[in-house]
């Protein structure tokens, strides 16, 4: 087992290519390592950011990446075909397909191109064997319908990133063997339902993430987020489960490597 496999905490979803983090990328990575976050997955949200994402992953051994089109850009960015995604997946540090999915909060008027793009990502996950990284907001019914229909055609592995949807979608995803990833939202005082969903999620299906530079956890809420802060999410999750942080970190890290089996 390599030293990186011994990471106490993994940030399973961040955006290191975003300007807020990229401008001080060396310091961001160093602060993460000081917080015992020795593995990060940076997520590319649109094709025009491919090069920046690849450069970061190539520069830092601690960083892997996922590639896809965020639903916000499904109607405006060049379409990624299944073949495009499969070609990208050949890079040794690409460990997931996405993020992709449905977001009807800001962009419901683009539901059709979002769904078309999402289907391409699902097919690429089915063909490549890499996990699908899903973004879902205000789209629970359509999300469940698409995931279940496509899973019945050909099973695939999946993580529902930054999970903040309802209990019904959580249960449907867990029934398919998917993972739920919890962000700093879990630590918010108002997130009572999400905390209940977290507590009802099997421990072997839980991941944690920052989704940085956004959604900083308590006590950093309102500030710029970064991978080092995933340690605060680990502290909070461990407390909810009445576990020591180290034990909770071991669980979520093992879950990460089970899902993202090509990492390190």
Please tell me the predicted confidence (pLDDT) of residue 222. 93
Q: Which residues contact 79 (CB under 8 A, 6 or more apart)?
A: 69, 116, 117, 120
- Percent of the chain past pLDDT 90, that is, above it, reads 95
Whether the per-residue pLDDT at 32 is higher than 50: the answer is yes
- Percent of the chain past pLDDT 70, that is, above it, reads 97
Structural domain includes residue 3: no
The CATH number of the domain holding residue 26 is 3.20.20.140
Confidence of residue 8 (pLDDT cuts 50, 70, 90): confident
Contact 226, 32 (CB under 8 A): yes
Contact 39, 65 (CB under 8 A): no
Q: Mean pLDDT, the chain, as a whole number?
A: 96
Structural domain includes residue 2: no
Number of domains forming the structure of the chain: 1
Whether the per-residue pLDDT at 6 is higher than 70: the answer is no
The answer, yes or no, to whether the previous bond of 231 is cis (omega within 30 of 0) is no
Structural domain includes residue 1: no
Confidence of residue 61 (pLDDT cuts 50, 70, 90): very high
Indicate if the alpha-carbon torsion angle 174, 178, 182, 183 is positive or negative: negative
3-state secondary structure of 145: helix
> What is this structure's pTM?
0.96
Confidence of residue 7 (pLDDT cuts 50, 70, 90): low
Q: How many CB atoms lie within 10 A of CB 152?
A: 9
Q: Report the C-alpha gap between 112 and 129 in whole angstroms.
A: 26
Question: Domain residues for 28?
Answer: 8-259
Q: Which residues pair with 136 in a beta bridge?
A: 102
Residue found under tokens 């996922």: 66
Contact 110, 135 (CB under 8 A): no
Structural domain includes residue 56: yes
Structural domain includes residue 195: yes
Q: Report the C-alpha gap between 12 and 159 in whole angstroms.
A: 10
Q: Which residues pair with 224 in a beta bridge?
A: none
Structural domain includes residue 217: yes
Whether the per-residue pLDDT at 2 is higher than 50: the answer is no
What does the pLDDT look like over 123-157, one tens digit per residue? 999 999 999 999 999 999 999 999 999 999 999 99
């Amino acid at each position: 087992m390599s030293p990186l496999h011994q990471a106490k905490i993994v940030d399973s979803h961040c955006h290191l290519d975003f300007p807020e983090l990229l401008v001080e990328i060396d310091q961001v990575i160093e602060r993460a390592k000081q917080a015992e976050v020795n593995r990060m997955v940076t997520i590319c949200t649109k094709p025009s950011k491919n090069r920046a994402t690849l450069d970061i992953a190539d520069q830092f051994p601690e960083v892997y990446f996922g590639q896809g089109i965020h639903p916000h850009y499904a109607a405006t960015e060049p379409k990624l075909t299944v073949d495009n995604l499969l070609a990208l997946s050949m890079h040794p540090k690409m460990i997931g397909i996405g993020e992709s999915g449905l977001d009807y909060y800001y962009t419901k008027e683009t539901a059709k191109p979002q769904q078309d793009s999402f289907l391409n990502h699902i097919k690429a996950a089915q063909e490549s064997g890499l996990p699908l990284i899903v973004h879902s907001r205000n789209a629970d019914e359509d999300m469940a319908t698409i995931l279940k229909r496509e899973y019945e055609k050909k099973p695939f592995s999946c993580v529902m990133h930054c999970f903040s949807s309802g209990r019904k979608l959580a249960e449907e995803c867990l029934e398919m063997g998917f993972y739920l990833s919890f962000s700093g939202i879990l630590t918010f005082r108002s997130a009572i339902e999400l905390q209940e969903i977290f507590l009802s999620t099997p421990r072997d299906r839980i991941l944690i993430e920052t989704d940085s530079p956004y959604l900083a956890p308590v006590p950093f809420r309102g500030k710029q987020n970064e991978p080092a802060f995933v340690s605060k999410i680990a502290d909070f999750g461990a407390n909810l489960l009445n576990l020591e942080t180290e034990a909770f970190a071991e669980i979520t890290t093992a879950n990460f490597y089970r899902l993202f089996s090509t990492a390190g």
